[in-house]
Amino acid sequence: MEIIRGIAASPGTVVGKALLLGAAETHVPRRTIPPRQVEPEQQRFHAAVQAAIADLGGLRQRTEAQLGAETAKIFSFHEGMLQDPSLIDPILGLIAGERLNAEAAVHERFEQLIGQFRAFKSDVFEQKVDDLIDLRRRVLGKLMGEEEDRLARLTEPAVIIAHELTPSQAAAVGHGKALAFVTESGGLTGHVSIVFRALGLPAVVGCPKAAESVQDGDEVIVDGDTGVMIVRPDAQAREECLRRGEQARRLRSALAENAGLEAVTRDGTRIQLLGNIEFPEEVTAVLRNGGDGVGLFRTEFLFLTSDQAPDEEAQYQAYRRTIELLDGRACTIRTLDLGADKWTQAMLHEPERNPFLGLRSIRYSLQNQPMFKTQLRAVLRASAHGPVKIMFPLVSTLMELRQARLILRDVMEELDEEGIAHDRRPRVGIMIEVPSAALMARTFAAEADFFSIGTNDLVQYTLAVDRGNERVASLYTAASPAVLQLVKNVIRAGRHAGIDASLCGEIAGDPVFTMLLLGMGLRTLSMVPAQIPVVKRVVRTVDIGLCERLARRVGSFDSERQIHTTLRDELRKLDPANFGGWAAA
Ligand code: PEP
Ligand code: MG
């Protein structure tokens, strides 16, 4: 049994069989085989090589037909290498002599060759190293199973374990195949963690050596409440974990009873609790959990889960469906927030050196106007079916807001000329996620209809801490005096200008922060749907005066730890029965 601690990214506890993704490149299993296994293992290796040669032959023919014989030569060269006894014989020798499994033998022989080639320190040999790495990946892929095949062959959902997953990979595996997720990289508010929570599946991220410690089919426990993964648990650990999981489930279902109640404080202040969604179908979860509408529709997920960008009609259908499911309730659609960790670097001609400070969000949209206009047309067309607010992400200068508004105006005029129905005065707001916008909130308030504070990014840009990097996860916290001052500034600017300011970062759904946020003056919070009943419980237990006193007290603190501890203690004091053991970080 091995216990590995990471970061609790999505609640729930499950026991299941592990399935490693991306393992062929990073974690090659190594074991000693018994003498009787030598021949079958050599046969397995031969079969893998033959299958790789067959693939290469197919690739060569296709390339020859499309790009000519010269370009296809690379594949004949690779086929030749895989038939070369100087590569093959030593691998067979390692299996027989060292009694290594085929994967480890392949890995070792390729490592030797790569080392020898690199020692020449010549460009010609360096290119050959790339060929070797490519070939090794191909043969190991055959031995360990191609990823899609392994996923397709799964007969029951598995615990997906990977060094790293992108948000789109996680969404694509999704329900049906995944029981839970564990990744070695990542932080609590990284976008992939948001997808795990949206899927409602337990997840632990930032879990060191998780992929190295398991093999396909191993039994693992994932405890998404405490951020622990247990590999090959013994009976006692299994029982203990399941008991704690059951306890957490019971607490959640007790809190779920709040879903149908009104979100009103003891002194009668009505708080609007909204849901963050990535797909139209999640509206049902928002309503089931007692949400008042959608405060953040992360539309880029419509792009991230398909190979091709959805066209205007597909987007229009998605937005219209969302609006219709909401049946007159609030709906804020955020325009594309592509870039950073929400864009496969592979899709860019030149990967970004510093993607979180690069071409992302509104910057990306402004530089890709046809795509942006298509989205705005789809949103506006859908606005004919119910109330919609439009929100631009990561605005950092006033010029960006002005430019985006101008483009919106152009699109509205086009629709008018075409006689297509749409809301003629849609409310247009911005996310406040960058310190420059938070500091200049008064200026922005003169030109925006509303603000939504995105603390997930605001924390990362204020503290200079990558939200998805497990190495600095302990430095990433919204309970920072600097972040709270910026939030306060935005709320004040909104109040001064008479426009709504709400908050849609992950802390909106963390009950530890609820009293503080209400005390600072927020009356609308948007969160992952499953957290709505939990936050509603806090809202219904407090009065605003208490929250304001807490906010004033916390406002005088100068350390993150002091702020966080105080907030947690106050929550426990407020409702020991439900929040006595609350684990949220
Ligand atoms: C945020 O940054 O707080 C936010 C809600 O946006 P996202 O998490 O999609 O970046
Ligand atoms: Mg953001």
209 with 80, same domain: the answer is no
548 with 476, same domain: the answer is yes
Catalytic pick among 191, 385, 422, 564? 191
Take atom 8 of ligand 1 and give the residue whose Cα is closest: 456
For residue 97, is pLDDT > 90? yes
* Residue in 187, 193, 153 with CA at minimum distance from that of residue 171: 193
Beta 272-277 vs 293-298: how paired, if at all? parallel
Would 256 be classed as within a structural domain? Answer: no
Looking at ligand 1, which atom is closest to the CA of residue 455? 3
* pLDDT tens string 483-512: 999 999 999 999 999 999 999 999 999 999
79 with 204, same domain: the answer is no
Whether 331 is a known active-site residue: answer no
For residue 172, is pLDDT > 90? no
More confident residue, 175 or 252: 252
Record the tokens describing residue 504, joined without a space: 């849609």
**Is-contact 158 18, C-beta < 8 A?**
yes
For residue 37, is pLDDT > 60? yes
Would 28 be classed as within a structural domain? Answer: no
Would 411 be classed as within a structural domain? Answer: yes
Residues with CB under 6 A from ligand 1: 194, 296, 298, 337, 433, 454-457, 504-505
Take atom 6 of ligand 1 and give the residue whose Cα is closest: 454
10 with 62, same domain: the answer is no
Cα gap 189→205, rounded to integer Å: 10
Looking at ligand 1, which atom is closest to the CA of residue 191? 8
Looking at ligand 1, which atom is closest to the CA of residue 506? 3
**Domain limits at 177?**
2-22+163-251
Would 504 be classed as within a structural domain? Answer: yes
Task: Quote the pLDDT of residue 584.
Answer: 44
For residue 410, is pLDDT > 70? yes
* Residue in 229, 220, 228, 171 with CA at minimum distance from that of residue 200: 171
Most distant pair of Cα atoms in the chain: their distance? 82
Task: Quote the pLDDT of residue 23.
Answer: 60
Last residue of a domain, one of 251, 270, 299: 251
* Residue in 291, 344, 261, 352 with CA at minimum distance from that of residue 530: 291
For residue 307, is pLDDT > 70? no
Take atom 4 of ligand 1 and give the residue whose Cα is closest: 454
299 with 375, same domain: the answer is yes
Would 566 be classed as within a structural domain? Answer: no
User: Which residues neighbour ligand 2 (ion) by CB within 5 Å?
Assistant: 433, 454, 457
* Residue in 490, 526, 495 with CA at minimum distance from that of residue 508: 526
Assign 26 a pLDDT band (cuts: 50, 70, 90). Answer: low
359 with 501, same domain: the answer is yes
Domain count, the chain: 3
More confident residue, 146 or 553: 553
Would 154 be classed as within a structural domain? Answer: no
Catalytic pick among 27, 504, 547, 564? 504
Take atom 7 of ligand 1 and give the residue whose Cα is closest: 456
Chain centroid to CA 64: 40
- d(CA 183, ligand 2 centre) in Å: 21
For residue 255, is pLDDT > 70? yes
Query: Which range scores top for mean pLDDT: 238-242, 291-295, 304-308?
Result: 291-295
User: What is the H or E stretch that residue 359 is in?
Assistant: none
CATH of residue 44: 1.10.274.10
Query: Which range scores top for mean pLDDT: 29-33, 63-67, 102-106?
Result: 102-106
Least distant ligand from the CA of 299: 1
419 with 539, same domain: the answer is yes
* pLDDT tens string 453-471: 999 999 999 999 998 888 8
274 with 419, same domain: the answer is yes
User: What is the H or E stretch that residue 383 is in?
Assistant: none
Cα distances (Å, whole numbers) of residue 31 to 99, 111, 421: 8, 17, 66
Last residue of a domain, one of 145, 179, 214: 145
Residue 12, SS3 per DSSP: coil
Would 561 be classed as within a structural domain? Answer: no
Whether 27 is a known active-site residue: answer no
230 with 276, same domain: the answer is no
